[in-house]
Amino acid sequence: MGDIVSLVEKAQEAFDATEAKKLEKKVRKEGMDLEDFLSAMRQMQKLGPFENLLKLLPGVNPKMLKDVKMDPKRMKHIEAIVLSMTPAERKKPEIINGSRRARIAKGCGRPVNEVNRLLEQFREMQKMMKKMGAAAGKGGGMPRLPFGGGGFFGR
């Protein structure tokens, strides 16, 4: 069935509230870069496997989770890709051209297409966050931690 109280307790134990507020403030002011993403991803890892978190959500049918493929290695691959970038590339991913992508891929031991996929998904997430920020300015709300699993961690 799900246990939202356990999920909240687990999140409170894992997340550093000060760090989360600092990250939220920076993202609202300057936008998100890959350093911010890496920081958020590391906090998400503290919560444990996503499959276990999904089981705690109310209304999630455990039978449906059998087909969910969450590869824990994927998070390590993403971290390796980001850490293979220079600080300038993490701050401004738009400067990453073909030769930089090849260097990053070689540095982390992953294929170039994984670097491309991460950068594309990151761009999509930035667009989504801009829309959410615009909605927040019009009276809508922006979630406190807008960094979910989705395409980054699955596949």
> Does the domain spanning 4-61+69-137 belong to CATH 1.10.287.1040?
no
Question: Which residue stretches of 15-111 are H helix?
Answer: 17-30, 34-45, 50-56, 72-83, 87-91, 98-108
| Residue 146 confidence (pLDDT) | 41
Q: What is the band of 133 on the pLDDT scale with cuts at 50, 70, 90?
A: low
Instruction: List all residues 6 or more positions away from 87 whose beta carbon is below 8 Å from its beta carbon.
Output: 35
In angstroms, what CA-CA distances link 18 with 15, 45, 110? 9, 17, 33
**Predicted confidence (pLDDT) per residue in 79-125, tens digit:** 999 999 999 999 999 999 999 999 999 999 999 999 999 999 999 98
Task: With beta carbons less than 8 A apart as the criterion, state whether 2 and 53 touch.
Answer: no
pLDDT for residue 3 is more than 70: no
| Residue 142 confidence (pLDDT) | 45
> Kindly report the CA angle at 74 between 129 and 12, in degrees rounded to 5?
60
